[in-house]
């Protein structure tokens, strides 16, 4: 279960990063 949680966290982090990129642009 911890593995899936970590993966979800990574995904959300990646999405946030992408969103931040769009905001800066």
Residue whose entry in the numeric block shows the structure tokens 């990574």: 10
CA-nearest of 2, 7, 1 to 15 is 7
Q: What is the pLDDT of residue 18?
A: 93
Residue whose entry in the numeric block shows the structure tokens 């911890």: 2
> What sign has the CA pseudo-torsion 16, 18, 20, 22?
negative
Q: What is the pLDDT of residue 23?
A: 81
- 1-25 pLDDT, tens digit per residue, is 789 999 999 999 999 999 999 888 7
d(CA 2, CA 8): 10
Q: What is the pLDDT of residue 6?
A: 92
Q: What is the pLDDT of residue 12?
A: 95
d(CA 7, CA 14): 10
**pTM, rounded to two decimals:** 0.50
């Amino acid at each position: 279960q911890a593995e899936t949680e970590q993966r979800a966290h990574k995904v959300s982090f990646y999405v946030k990063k992408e969103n931040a990129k769009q905001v800066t642009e």
